[in-house]
Amino acid sequence: MGACGVLALQGDWKAHQAILRELGSEVMAVRTLSDLERVDGLVIPGGESSAMLRLAESEDFFSHIGEKIATGMMVLATCAGVILLAEEVEPYQPSLGALAVTVVRNAYGRQVHSAVAKVDLAPELGSPGQMEGVFIRAPRISHCGASVEVLGWWGNDPVLVRENRVLGATYHPELGTDRRVHELFLRMREDGHG
């Protein structure tokens, strides 16, 4: 198994890297296409999705990420990462369509409306049945396709979802102390979920 990559263009990628190392994974920062070729799993962190698109334009980076997902690479996308992978984004923004969800950007308000909330978890994630979710200018999933499994909710909104090889959280699990989202990603990577 190759290294696990963390897309290091923007956002708090170092926090994801530290957690994956803590959990025993070999991790590398991904900034170039040659870095991308060396990983078999990728974390796309939160940040500013439109800025990430601009930073990735030079080498058509995101289309290469989409190709790698299509050929089996596991992905954990958080916050802005979910926007970049969504099938449909409102208001419109280019995305890879690798996750069958519709997302509404900044649906919960601006940065000042950020929140720390309890996320209710599916039994698969074990006890306790909730985890802390840090929502910073978070997107809202307004629709899930039939193949999308919801693993976490904030109120009635799905906030942690999985479809085949993609795990998406609209919040920032890297900013809390609960490691279950990253552990699930590493398990999916090991057993080839999907």
Residue 192: pLDDT band (50, 70, 90) is: low
**51 and 86 Cβ atoms separated by less than 8 Å:** no
Q: pLDDT tens-digit profile of 35-78?
A: 999 999 999 998 777 777 776 666 678 889 999 999 999 999 99
**Tokens standing for 123?**
């039994």
The string of DSSP letters for 56-88 reads: TGGGTHHHHHHHHHHTT-EEEEETHHHHHHEEE
The pLDDT of 148-176, averaged and rounded, is 96
What pLDDT is attached to residue 109? 65
Annotated domain spans of the chain: 3-191
CATH topology of domain 3-191: Rossmann fold (3.40.50)
The pLDDT of 26-34, averaged and rounded, is 93
191/166: higher pLDDT: 166
**63 and 95 Cβ atoms separated by less than 8 Å:** no
Q: pLDDT tens-digit profile of 5-25?
A: 999 987 789 999 999 999 999
Q: Which residues are catalytic?
A: 79, 172, 174
Looking up tokens 């280019």 gives: 94
What pLDDT is attached to residue 164? 93
What pLDDT is attached to residue 194? 44
115 secondary structure, DSSP code = E
d(CA 83, CA 90): 9
Identify the three-state secondary structure at position 186.
helix
What pLDDT is attached to residue 155? 93
Query: Does residue 112 have a pLDDT over 60?
Result: no
The pLDDT of 157-181, averaged and rounded, is 96
What pLDDT is attached to residue 110? 62
| pTM greater than 0.85 | yes
Query: Does residue 113 have a pLDDT over 70?
Result: no
Would you say the C-alpha torsion 54, 60, 64, 67 has a positive or negative sign?
Answer: positive
Q: pLDDT tens-digit profile of 116-158?
A: 899 999 999 999 999 999 998 899 999 999 999 999 999 999 9
Q: Which of 44-48, 168-172, 177-181 has the lowest mean pLDDT?
A: 44-48
